[in-house]
Amino acid sequence: MSTPQQQKRIYEEITRRLQELVEADDLKPGDRLPPERSLAALFGVSRNSMREAIKSLEQAGLLESRPGAGTFISAASQAELARQLGEAFARERHRLEDIFELRLLLEPQIARLAAQRVSPGTLERLEGLMQDYENAVRHGEAVLEIDQNLHDTIAAATGNHAIVRLMEQMHDLLSESRDEALQSPERSRKALEDHRKILAALRLRDTGGACAAMTEHLEHTREIVFTSKKGA
């Protein structure tokens, strides 16, 4: 996980860039915010993260959502707007760090158990999902749903219904970390390589290898997400 000092630097960088926008009068009270997609691209975050940040600022009274018109800046102070928006992104980063910590605790051990118990039928299904993944990456298509199905199928391979239910209940939470990590074809290709290693270990019923491959995949994913945020 990143150190408190690294987190502080990231927060300061986000705040600095926001302050540059408001000081240049690119953002000021009464202005309508650019589209959500544009803001997400500008700050190097997912649309889900951007949406949560906007909600937070609306609750703080700094933004005003007008049905059919868009979202407008209602803050009287541009400096306060920059500070609050920077804090919103910092909170989102901490939340993602918590999600990755949770995934690293759970999913490698799920992969270990899956390697021990996976059935021929489940292996066949995983092979089919990997083919779908490869086709999607080859054609530049979204892989988030396929990625989620792969992880769900690995959980199902354990034969443990409590694990399956737990993963189902955490879909929305876990999908945020996947959404952050799969925003480009290059990132999707890297995730595909990681999943190939996981599947290879499952085929061999290599419990230690499956655990290690899943850990490596999650570490790669976390690195991609937080490296992209450093450049925000």
The string of DSSP letters for 134-199 reads HHHHHTT---HHHHHHHHHHHHHTTT-HHHHHHHHHTHHHHHHHHHHH-SSHHHHHHHHHHHHHHH
Residue holding tokens 């009274």?
Answer: 61
Q: pLDDT tens-digit profile of 85-137? A: 666 666 666 777 888 888 899 999 999 999 999 999 999 999 999 999 999 99
Q: What is the CATH number of domain 94-230?
A: 1.20.120.530
Q: Rounded CA gap, 137 and 213, in Å?
A: 20
List the one residue out of 163, 120, 171 whose CA is nearest residue 145: 171
Highest mean pLDDT among 7-11, 34-38, 51-55: 34-38
Q: 158 vs 161, 164, 170, CA distance in Å?
A: 8, 8, 17
Candidate ranges 8-17, 58-67, 206-215; pick with highest mean pLDDT:
206-215
What is the location of CATH 1.10.10.10 in the chain?
Answer: 4-92
Banded model confidence at residue 198, pLDDT cuts 50, 70, 90? very high
Residues of the chain with CATH 1.20.120.530: 94-230
Say how far apart CA 226 and CA 187 lie, in whole Å: 13
Full-model pTM: 0.62
Instruction: List phi, psi (to 5°) of 71.
Output: -110, 130
**What mean pLDDT comes out for the span 43-50?**
69
Tell me: the pLDDT tens digits for 158-193? Answer: 999 999 998 888 877 676 666 655 556 778 888 899
For residue 68, the 8-state DSSP code is T
- Domain 4-92 in CATH 1.10.10.10? The answer is yes
Q: pLDDT band for 79, please (50, 70, 90 cuts).
A: low
- C-alpha distances in angstroms, 27 versus 16, 53, 54, 85? 14, 16, 14, 12
